[in-house]
A and B are shown apart, each in its own frame.
Chain A
Amino acid sequence: MSAEAKHITVSGLSGEVLEITGVNTFECYQCGKCSAGCPLSAEMDYPPSYLIRLLQTGDPELEEKVLRSFTIWVCLTCEVCYSRCPMSIDIPKMMDFLREKSRKEGKANPKAKEIIAFHKAFLKSIEKTGRLYELGVLGAYKSSTFHFTQDLALAPKAIARGKLHFLPEFVKDRANIVSIFSKTVRKKKVKL
Chain B
Amino acid sequence: MILGFYPGCSLKGSSREYTESVLAITKAFDIELQEISDWNCCGATAAHNFNKELSLALPARIMALAEKQGLQEVVVPCAACYSRLAVTQHELGKNDELKEKISQVAGIEYKGTVKILNIIQLLDKYVIPKIEGRVVQPFNHKVACYYGCLLVRPHAVLQFDREEDPQSMDTLMTKVGATPIEWAFKTECCGAGLSISRTATVARLSGSIMKDAADRGAEAIIVACPMCHSNLDMRRAEINNFLKEKIDIPVLYVTQALGMAIGLEKKELGVQRHFVRVGI
* A residues neighboring B (CB under 8 Å): 39-40, 43, 73-74, 76-80, 82-83, 88, 90, 92, 96-97, 99-100, 103, 114-115, 117-120, 122-123, 126, 130-132, 134, 138, 141, 150-151, 153-154, 157-158, 161-165, 169, 171-173, 176-177, 179-181, 183-185, 192
B68 located at the interface, meaning its Cβ lies under 8 Å from any Cβ of chain A in the complex? no
Contact string against A for B residues 18-55, beta-carbon threshold 8 Å, 1 for contact and 0 otherwise:
00000000000000000000111101111111111111
B53: A residues at CB distance < 8 A = 183-184
B55: A residues at CB distance < 8 A = 96
B186 located at the interface, meaning its Cβ lies under 8 Å from any Cβ of chain A in the complex? no
Query: Do the beta carbons of B154 and A131 come within 8 Å of each other?
Result: no
A-B CB contact pairs (8 Å), 19 listed? A78-B153, A88-B156, A92-B154, A100-B51, A114-B198, A118-B196, A126-B43, A131-B9, A131-B12, A150-B196, A157-B275, A163-B14, A163-B15, A171-B39, A172-B38, A180-B61, A183-B57, A184-B53, A184-B57
B85 located at the interface, meaning its Cβ lies under 8 Å from any Cβ of chain A in the complex? no
Query: Do the beta carbons of A169 and B61 come within 8 Å of each other?
Result: no
Q: How many B residues, CB 8 Å from partner?
A: 58
Q: State A130–B65 Cα separation when bound (angstroms).
A: 14
B154: A residues at CB distance < 8 A = 79, 82-83, 90, 92
Query: Do the beta carbons of A132 and B41 come within 8 Å of each other?
Result: yes
A100: B residues at CB distance < 8 A = 49-52
Chain A, Cβ-Cβ closest to B200: A43
Query: Do the beta carbons of B50 and A119 come within 8 Å of each other?
Result: yes
Interface of A is mostly: helix
B77 located at the interface, meaning its Cβ lies under 8 Å from any Cβ of chain A in the complex? no
Contact of B45 among A77, A130, A180 (CB under 8 A): A77
Q: State A126–B84 Cα separation when bound (angstroms).
A: 15
**Nearest-Cβ distance from residue B65 to partner chain A, whole angstroms:** 9
**Given A74-B201, A134-B13, 14 more pairs with CB closer than 8 A:** A77-B45, A77-B48, A82-B154, A83-B155, A96-B55, A115-B194, A119-B49, A122-B46, A123-B43, A165-B12, A171-B38, A180-B106, A184-B105, A185-B47
